Amino acid sequence: MGQGTYDKAVEEGNAAKAQLRQMTLDRDKKRTEAAESESSLRELDAACKKRGDDLAALQGRSRNLSMTLEQTKAQLAAMQRAQAASEARAALFRDLTLRLKRMVDSGELAVVIRDGRMVLQLPNDVLFDTGRTELKPKGQETLKGIAEVLKTMTERHFQISGHTDSVPIHTARFPSNWELSSGRALEVVHLLVAQGVAPGMLSAAGYSDVDPVATNDTADGKKKNRRTEISLQPMIDELVTIPEH
């Protein structure tokens, strides 16, 4: 092989090596770029997923806030209805007390709020003699005055309830205080109906001695427990409940 041919072969070999090195460098660069692209893609995917999660979380919070707002509105509306009903009952209480003022002032009856209900309390010594259900003349006059008021309240209902003290009664007509208290309540109902109060507005109940307003250990307490009550029954729209949180 001549010198020229040898030199040319060496030159071509060096050129091939240089080309191979360049190709290796280019390959490594492409691998690096590919790895960087893959990493960037993963980061982009992660960012997109996070944004998706954030969006879902925001949508969830939005739904929760909407539900809370609706619940708050419902609670506010219920409280407004309860306040309106309370104000209406207070106005009715004032009106009823004013219309019965003469009998209240004379001690024939008391107008009270008991267990959330407006109640006319009539002492039994105004209405009945001991152990009897016949209305006394004074009691009849008192109930006639009450009837004049009740029959104007045509949309309301009233329960007449009889109550005794703890002293038991044992007679042929009244084997116990249950019969006595029930009989007195019915006697009052009959008189109110006779005075023009619509029967559908009234109901009667006997409580014997199980619903005292005072102690039965004293004479004064027993006197307070011997009573007849006329309770104003609540209307459906007055039975307001507050939604739970």
pTM for the model stands at 0.65
Mean pLDDT of 115-135: 92
From residue 110, give the alpha-carbon distance in Å to each of 94, 103, 120, 151, 236. 13, 8, 6, 19, 26
Cβ 192 vs Cβ 237: under 8 Å: no
Q: Check pLDDT > 70 for residue 66.
A: yes
pLDDT at residue 77, rounded to an integer = 82
- The total of other beta-carbon atoms located within 10 Å of residue 231's CB is 19
Superfamily holding 100-238:
OmpA-like domain (3.30.1330.60)
Q: For all residues of the chain together, what is the average pLDDT?
A: 84
- Per DSSP, the residues of 71-133 read HHHHHHHHHHHHHHHHHHHHHHHHHHHHHTHHHHHTTS-EEEEETTEEEEEEEHHHHB-TT--
Tell me the per-residue pLDDT of 14-48, one tens digit each, with 9 for 90 and over.
Answer: 666 677 677 777 777 777 776 776 776 677 777 76
For 223, half-sphere exposure in the C-beta direction (CA atoms, 13 angstrom radius) is: 5
Tell me the per-residue pLDDT of 185-230, one tens digit each, with 9 for 90 and over.
Answer: 999 999 999 999 999 999 999 999 999 999 999 999 999 999 999 9
